[in-house]
Chains A and B, each alone.
Chain A
């Protein structure tokens, strides 16, 4: 196959660009653990309210930071408001009691699908204190656009 010179240059440049994209991803993954929420854990979606893993909802302090447990349902999150501390790791654990929902913390890269029968989990750190809007970003019915919650990130208290 005879390829004209200019096109050869272009093809090599394209190849280099594709490799550069892939390297960027690998560096982000290795350096900053940038990876999507990919937790694998199942749950009976018809019994989430009584499941021991979701009985105690809201923010619970742990040794490492905070765990936030929430249930997504048509058309709200339970609880609808959560407080966490800035600068400390926060682990979100979510599931759905009905259809598939989204969970997107506006202004951050906190984002996961919430699929019935499965538990979504991801850990993140909020650097900037303030009030964040959490929205459902997967269509879940006629009041989908009314499904949101509030995340309040508080100033970290000085350690004693």
Chain B
């Protein structure tokens, strides 16, 4: 075996039985993701129009905060998690040469997560859980809201176990081969997720569920916030890493090029395993009860994690250039024009990368110990994360859905014109939405408010033109989301049947070692990651628990 990419080329399965089986599992997850996305988008339109202070029917404060909660939970927690689980099954099954399994565990995870999603969504839509997707106590939701979230997490743990078990089975059969790059990225995602969810599981099971059921009467909100953000920032990388996997392993193939640097891609995923979690205090800069020194340590670690994203920006762009040159470009920049801008997977990724570059710079501002005070909890923040999770992640996932759905269903993509236009509409909408929110944020407008009048305050009046622009952005985004839904549903119902097409992974530009390297030593990286978590959290948590604290009773002001 001197070939460099034994595991990266998929063997075309002649019979339909092969792809069908994993297709069922992946499709079941994908559809939950797509439907959650559709509902969440409708919620977003309502908020956007609210921001423009239009006098709409049903527009009440109660409806507004309900819709913010539903949008956040369905987009950030349900759409992302289910899409990532679907993608994980595709990657594991299509790179390891055998189906991901055991299937019984995978389906158990699916049903647990789906049941949890339905329970949580029901409490939100019934108006019993307008606590937003950060659910900070002592705002108290219906117990089913928290129990549902716990089930989603447990379901995702089943998925994580399937990913790791599938890898172990493959590794036993291939003790010396390098992990296929896509699977390497998925394993990094899983490891980050397993470390991160310890925080939210502890918050949910030890604090929130007993408290919402009335078994204990009070709760410590700073402890909750600490546990939540212990989970909340690595959550960001749980979303982002599968998008990076798509950028590294599908995009070069789609543009007709090769992956510029395979070892650096591997290094990037390893760095994320190490630095994703010990950074949560940068979400709590403005919190009392957490001392400044620990916030500073988390700040430094946060900046360390900029580095792998810088490498990604170079490697992925260079891979595009390789593709453009393979298509005949010779000049400095004409390779850009040679790229397949009409292919929705390519345009989604290319546009999402541009938006992400801006979002990343905004993230560096948010993480800056001192500067954060100017933008904390202002509209700047929603402007920021709609460029990161709302673009880099969501737009990439939509592009990937155009790529995956035909390969999972054996149907051609229907309404291709809408699919071609959709990423551009998203791009325009997101630019309008995010720019205006960054600006109003710098002007001091808070995020998540039903109305921005503040008793006729003159400073609040200066925000109104920009909020109108953000509403226009919202209309573009909603139209784009609608196109996406039409293509998905149209393809499922009316797409022309064809043979199953394989998922072909990108080849590296330079030969890679045919033996596994240090990058594949996941036990080692996990151990270092846990060590960093202990350094960053053990002492502050210990001193916090020893301090004289007073709990808060619950409140339901919704």
Question: Which positions in A face B, CB cutoff 8 Å?
Answer: 1-4, 6-7, 10-11, 14-15, 17-18, 21-22, 24-25, 28-29, 32, 34-46, 74, 98-100, 102, 104, 106-107, 109-121, 133, 135-146, 148
Contacts and interface: CB of A to CB of B under 8 A. Distances in A.
Contact of A39 (B288, B453, B547, B557): B288
B448 interface: yes
20 contacts: A1-B267, A7-B261, A7-B315, A7-B318, A18-B303, A18-B304, A32-B370, A36-B295, A40-B288, A99-B136, A100-B137, A104-B376, A111-B374, A111-B377, A112-B286, A116-B221, A118-B288, A133-B454, A141-B555, A145-B453
A36 B286 contact: yes
Interface residues of B, number: 77
A112 to B, nearest CB: 5
Interface in B523-558: 547-553, 555, 557-558
A26 B295 CA distance: 13
Interface in B197-234: 220-222, 225
A140 B446 CA distance: 13
Contact of A106 (B285, B318, B459): B459
Contacts of B452: 145
Given A7-B264, A100-B136, A138 B444 contact: no
A11 B311 contact: yes
Among B136, B288, B377, the most chain A Cβ lie within 10 Å of the Cβ of B288
Given A21-B368, A135-B454, A145-B61, A36 B550 contact: no
A113 B377 CA distance: 9
A38 B295 contact: yes
Given A104-B378, A133-B444, A137-B447, A36 B139 contact: no
B264 A3 contact: yes
B549 A40 contact: no
Interface string B286-320: 11111110011001100110110011001100100
A137 B267 CA distance: 39
Nearest to B220: A117
B306 A18 contact: yes
Contact of B373 (A43, A111, A143): A111
Nearest to B510: A2
Given A22-B303, A29-B369, A148-B457, A104 B222 contact: no
Nearest to A121: B288
Contacts of B374: 109, 111
Given A3-B264, A145-B452, A118 B289 contact: yes
A3 B306 CA distance: 19
Interface in B239-266: 260-261, 263-264
B65 A28 contact: no
Among B289, B300, B455, B510, the most chain A Cβ lie within 10 Å of the Cβ of B289
Contacts of A98: 138, 555, 557
Contacts of A44: 550
Given A21-B364, A107-B444, A117-B221, A37 B457 contact: no
Nearest to B266: A1
Contacts of B306: 14, 17-18, 21
A18 B292 CA distance: 21
B552 A45 contact: yes
B4 interface: no
Contact of B288 (A2, A120, A133): A120
A17 B307 CA distance: 9
Contacts, number: 218
Given A39-B288, A40-B547, A109 B373 contact: yes
Nearest to A141: B557
Contacts of B457: 133, 148
9 closest A-B pairs by beta carbon, nearest first, are: A141-B557, A34-B370, A106-B444, A14-B310, A137-B446, A137-B377, A38-B292, A145-B449, A36-B285
A42 B267 CA distance: 44
A45 B550 contact: yes
B132 interface: yes
Contacts of B260: 4, 7
Contacts of B68: 139
B378 A22 contact: no
A22 B457 CA distance: 38
Nearest to A13: B310
A102 B377 contact: yes
B334 interface: no
Contacts of A36: 285-286, 292, 295, 369-370, 372-373
B235 to A, nearest CB: 19
Interface in B265-284: 267, 284
B451 interface: yes
Given A37-B286, A133-B457, A14 B311 contact: yes
Interface string B183-196: 00000000000000
B170 interface: no
B282 to A, nearest CB: 10
A108 B289 CA distance: 23
A4 B368 CA distance: 32
Among B287, B311, B459, the most chain A Cβ lie within 10 Å of the Cβ of B287
A74 B291 contact: no
B111 interface: no
A42 B546 CA distance: 12
B446 A40 contact: no
Nearest to B381: A137
Interface string B339-383: 000000000000000000000000010001110111011100000
B363 to A, nearest CB: 11
B465 interface: no
B460 interface: yes
B450 interface: yes
Nearest to A48: B550
B548 A42 contact: yes
Contacts of B373: 36, 109-111
B557 A74 contact: yes
A117 B558 contact: no
Contacts of A145: 61, 449-454
A115 B454 contact: no
B175 interface: no
Among B62, B136, B444, the most chain A Cβ lie within 10 Å of the Cβ of B444
Interface string B414-431: 000000000000000000
